[in-house]
Amino acid sequence: MRGGEFLQKIRIGNLQRFRAVFLAGKRVVALAVLLGAAAAAQAVEPDEILPDPALEARARDISKDLRCLVCRNESIDESNAQLAKDLRVLVRERLTAGDSDAEVMEYVVDRYGEYVLLRPTASGANLLLWAAGPLMLVLAGGIGIAFVRRRSRATSREADGLSEAESTRLAEILDE
Amino acid sequence: MITELGHFALILAFLVACVQAVVPMVGAARRWPGWMAVAEPAASLQFLLTAFSFAALTWAFITSDFSLRLVVLNSHSAKPLLYKISGTWGNHEGSMLLWVLILTLFGACAAWFGGNLPPGLRARVLSVQASVAVAFFAFILFTSNPFLRVEMPPFDGQDLNPLLQDPGLAFHPPFLYLGYVGLSMAFSFAVAALIEGRVDAAWARWVRPWTLAAWVFLTIGIALGSWWAYYELGWGGFWFWDPVENASFMPWLLAAALLHSAIVVEKREALKSWTILLAILAFGFSLIGTFIVRSGVLTSVHAFANDPERGVFILLILAFFVGGALTLFSVRAQVMEARGVFGVVSRESALVLNNVLLAVACFVVFVGTIWPLLAEMFFDRKLSVGPPFFNLAFSPFMVVLGAILPVGAMLPWKRGRIARAFRPLRAAFVLALALAALAWAMQTGKSTLGPIGLFLGAWVVFGAATDLWMRTGRKGNRFGRLIRLPRADWGKAVAHSGLGITIFAVAGLTAWEQEDIRVTQLGEAFDVGAYTLVLEQVEKARGPNYLSEIGHVTASRNGRVVARLRPEKRVYPVAQMPTTEAGIDYRVFRDLYVVIGDRQGDGGWIVRTYIKPFANWIWAGSILMALGGLLSLSDRRFRVAAGARRVPGGVPAE
């Protein structure tokens, strides 16, 4: 079901931005259109690719964890924006210069702040973020286990599956 | 004139909702049949008025009535009819009107098909449903009125954002809303049950179909959005963990948990208070989603500050309903005494585990989504939480869920043994393991993601098939019995298979995708994977409102042409926008996905080629999940729910 020729689609190249536009009202529309207009190029371009495949693969992995700062929730690896292109080139320059992955990350974060990291560091308050899932799992799992064990103990107590009232009523019926 | 009538109908609907929120509730408390009976005609009337109001707005869009502010801002006389209609909900005000339209539709459905509900419960359900409607009618009328006129109607409109003019997207919001808002029924039933202080098997039997329907719509809506992203974005991404996506994914996870826990209430009269809590939370997350999307608070804190009125209003609605329901829950929950008793190893326990995993997974998504906001507010840190976090923090839950699903689904109610439940699954397990080993041996590179995904997917699918087959008994005409199995059994097997297929497809696509980015000269052949591609020529073409460069790409394999692709690069002169149309060759086992880029100085062209294995399986799996839900929905027991309340101990568990 591709759109017909009559479709007018702006190629912003960005689902997030579209959703924002669509759902958050026209103030954002104006913003997105502005951003989109600036974005003519497309993601990784052939002239950026490093000759060494191993180095290029590392560059791609790093790029996926770095945020395009003028975009919404898009990595520089996916983004069309000029700034993302600059960052991709920067990452490759650092790698070519012999930096390790961690050093490249540090270099970028020093210049752009931790906002640029799509995978937040596990430091300080962020520990809460990373621990939230496991902690909640332990808590919910504990409650779940306690509940299940309570129900199974009830099984042994009411072996016939009847409540006290039901047992009384059964006795009455049997007496009649 | 029609516009004024629509506006008037909306105000009337608001008033009707006010009456419906109060009168039946009082009637149910005082046991006045006349007052309780107000609920049904009121629910119908409310729906009809809202439908008229929505139709009036749609009419204004179709006829391009540029005296309406909303039409001026979001439409254009030259726009195709489909997008004039979809433009009605392609903006804030119109989409909120669609929201209440669906809300009142669900209320009306409860009134029309709720004939066999006890009158007290029905009155309370409709009353709660109406009180939600009151809040949203007020929201629309006081902060987002779609019927405002402009003093000087312009000659033409400013057009709908061209991005929204896509058939796949025209239907994405209505499905999503049917799902979101459908959860309001579960909420209304939960609150009504808390007020009544009674939850039994019949109640669960009533809640489950509504939840199931909402979940089916939500599944379709999310899949549509994801599919659009895949074919439209030019590199085949399908899920981005964007706040707005998460807003629809969280209710989906909770609805999935709810429809499983409701089974336990229905069959075994256990997990009652948890099910009530889930019903409240599921709709709560729908409201949170609405808040996130409408206020723009997560898009940018500044968007919120610029226009705080709407955000604050929705926040108040959220606080009132979720806070109120939770307060009610804390007061009344202990009334819901659990009756069913079961062993530690049993279907009930397996479903508890299912609920724990789904609920915690939802919690992880929630924390990740709002963390940037919390970090900025409380720790003064501006940071991002993106796909790498979610992939890492969320995926383990799905892996565990997939791993335990087949065994849990085979466990008997009340009391079982894992070894015994696993025995018939041995074949499925070995087969899945063999497939994963084969994939491991065949793949290039040492990715574990692909084989793990294949194992999980195959394990879930074969497990579902085994489950179905085991239900046909031991001897005799097993195939005949297979066909006559209850629809609910089929629904369970189909939906679980769908999940397995989607899990596998996501892992397979992520692990085995091949990508090639290069500058190629016309007529020059290049290899991507097993295919040889040639960019034969690039032709210039003129569309109705754009200029286009169309690449003619021939893909061959072993010297045989397998596909001719037409990737396009368009420029819309009026909007000053370049767009890219990917050329996609859809096949069962892979998509060949070609995008053409800019012309280079030496006469070559940038061409991006992707081989995307099992891409279609993602959406095929989603469709199967939805289909499984529909099958289950058509099960006989939901149609004969009338007498259920007379059986005090619930239905016998198989």
> Model confidence over B617-630: pLDDT tens digits?
999 999 999 999 99
Instruction: Identify whether residues A109 and A67 lie together within a single domain.
Output: yes
Closest CA to B606 of B619, B593, B595, B621: B595
* Mean pLDDT for the stretch of residues B562-568: 92
- Higher-pLDDT residue of B367 and B309 is B367
Please count the other Cβ atoms lying within 10 Å of the Cβ belonging to residue A1: 9
Question: Per the CB < 8 Å rule, is B163 touching A13?
Answer: no
Residue A2 domain-assigned (yes or no): no
- Cα of B462 to nearest chain A Cα, Å: 28
* Mean pLDDT for the stretch of residues B318-346: 85
**pLDDT digit string (tens) for B441-493?**
888 777 889 999 999 999 999 999 999 998 888 777 888 888 888 888 999 99
* CATH code for the domain of A89: 1.10.8.640
Residue A67 domain-assigned (yes or no): yes
Residue B504 domain-assigned (yes or no): no
Alpha helices in A25-125 (DSSP H): 26-37, 53-64, 82-96, 101-112
Task: Indicate the pLDDT class of residue B164, thresholds 50, 70 and 90.
Answer: low
The predicted pLDDT at position B232 comes to: 77
The residues, ordered by sequence, that sit 6+ positions from B382 with a Cβ below 8 Å of its Cβ are: A113, A114, A115, B372, B375, B376
Closest CA to B50 of B92, B95, B100, B15: B100
Residue B184 domain-assigned (yes or no): no
Residue A65 domain-assigned (yes or no): yes
- Cα of A144 to nearest chain B Cα, Å: 7
**pLDDT digit string (tens) for B169-202?**
788 889 999 998 999 999 999 999 999 888 888 8
Tell me which amino acid residue B367 is: V
- Cα of B518 to nearest chain A Cα, Å: 5
For chain A, the domain total comes to 2
- Cα of B234 to nearest chain A Cα, Å: 7
The two three-digit tokens of residue B81, written as one number: 């009819």
Domain C-terminal end among B113, B135, B162: B162
- Higher-pLDDT residue of B539 and B167 is B539
Query: Can you give the pLDDT of all 176 residues of chain A as single tens digits?
Result: 333 332 333 333 333 333 433 333 333 333 333 333 333 446 788 888 888 888 898 999 999 899 988 877 788 888 878 888 899 999 999 999 988 999 999 999 999 888 899 999 888 889 999 999 999 999 999 999 988 888 888 755 544 456 666 667 777 777 65
Instruction: Identify whether residues A28 and A111 lie together within a single domain.
Output: yes
3-class SS of residue A24 = helix
- Among B73, B95, B229, the residue with its CB nearest the CB of A26 is B73
3-class SS of residue A97 = coil
- Higher-pLDDT residue of B301 and B111 is B111
Q: Which domain holds residue B151?
A: 1-162
Domain C-terminal end among B141, B162, B183: B162
For chain B, the domain total comes to 2
Contacts of A120 in chain B (CB under 8 A): 371, 383-385, 389
Q: Which domain holds residue A164?
A: 126-175
Tell me which amino acid residue B147 is: F
3-class SS of residue A54 = helix
Residue B100 domain-assigned (yes or no): yes
Residue B475 domain-assigned (yes or no): no
Instruction: Identify whether residues A87 and A151 lie together within a single domain.
Output: no
Instruction: Identify whether residues A94 and A130 lie together within a single domain.
Output: no
**B288 CB within 8 Å of a chain A CB:** no
Instruction: Identify whether residues A105 and A130 lie together within a single domain.
Output: no
Please give the interface size between A and B, counted as residue pairs whose CB atoms are below 8 Å apart. Answer: 237
Instruction: Please state the pTM of the whole predicted model.
Output: 0.88
**pLDDT digit string (tens) for B232-275?**
777 778 888 888 889 999 999 999 999 999 998 888 888 888 99
pLDDT at B439 over 60: yes
Residue A54 domain-assigned (yes or no): yes
Residue B90 domain-assigned (yes or no): yes
Residue B426 domain-assigned (yes or no): no
Domain C-terminal end among B138, B162, B186: B162
Instruction: Identify whether residues A50 and A106 lie together within a single domain.
Output: yes
Task: Indicate the pLDDT class of residue B5, thresholds 50, 70 and 90.
Answer: very high
The predicted pLDDT at position B198 comes to: 82
The predicted pLDDT at position B639 comes to: 60
Least reliable range by pLDDT among B217-221, B224-228, B302-306: B302-306
Instruction: Identify whether residues A80 and A103 lie together within a single domain.
Output: yes
Contacts of B354 in chain A (CB under 8 A): none
Instruction: Identify whether residues A36 and A72 lie together within a single domain.
Output: yes
* Mean pLDDT for the stretch of residues B45-74: 93
Interatomic CA distance for residues B504 and B28, integer angstroms: 50
**Which chain A residue is nearest to residue B368, measuring alpha carbons?**
A129
* Mean pLDDT for the stretch of residues B210-231: 92
Instruction: Identify whether residues A104 and A156 lie together within a single domain.
Output: no
Closest CA to B92 of B49, B140, B47, B132: B140
Tell me which amino acid residue B108 is: A
Q: What is the mean pLDDT of chain B?
A: 88
Task: Indicate the pLDDT class of residue B323, thresholds 50, 70 and 90.
Answer: very high
Contacts of A101 in chain B (CB under 8 A): none
Instruction: Identify whether residues A111 and A38 lie together within a single domain.
Output: yes
pLDDT at B654 over 70: no
The predicted pLDDT at position A125 comes to: 87
Radius of gyration of chain B (CA): 27
Instruction: Identify whether residues A33 and A112 lie together within a single domain.
Output: yes
Contacts of B173 in chain A (CB under 8 A): 22
Interatomic CA distance for residues B628 and B634, integer angstroms: 10
Residue B239 domain-assigned (yes or no): no
Interface confidence (ipTM) of the complex: 0.84
Interatomic CA distance for residues B34 and B24, integer angstroms: 9
**pLDDT digit string (tens) for B516-544?**
988 999 999 999 989 999 999 999 998 77
| Residue B354 φ/ψ region, left for φ over 0, alpha for ψ in the -120 to 50 degree band, beta for the rest | alpha
Question: Per the CB < 8 Å rule, is A10 touching B294?
Answer: no
Q: Hey, CA dihedral for A106, A108, A114, A117, is it positive or negative? A: negative
Highest mean pLDDT among B7-11, B376-380, B640-644: B7-11
Instruction: Identify whether residues A150 and A68 lie together within a single domain.
Output: no
Interatomic CA distance for residues B35 and B414, integer angstroms: 43
The two three-digit tokens of residue B597, written as one number: 């880029």
Contacts of A130 in chain B (CB under 8 A): 393
Burial class of residue A159, CB neighbours in 10 A (0-12, 13-18, 19+): exposed
CB B184 within 8 A of CB B218: no
CA triplet B639, B642, B646: central angle to 5 degrees?
140
List all residues of chain B from 64 to 93 with a beta carbon under 8 Å from chain A: 73-74, 80, 90-92
- Cα of A86 to nearest chain B Cα, Å: 18
Residue B466 domain-assigned (yes or no): no
The residues, ordered by sequence, that sit 6+ positions from B223 with a Cβ below 8 Å of its Cβ are: B619, B622, B623, B626
Residue among B383, B594, B598 with most chain A CBs within 10 A, to mutate: B383
Question: Per the CB < 8 Å rule, is B353 touching A14?
Answer: no
**Which chain B residue is nearest to residue A78, measuring alpha carbons?**
B235
**Which chain B residue is nearest to residue A21, measuring alpha carbons?**
B161
- Start-to-end C-alpha separation, chain B: 60
Interatomic CA distance for residues B447 and B438, integer angstroms: 13
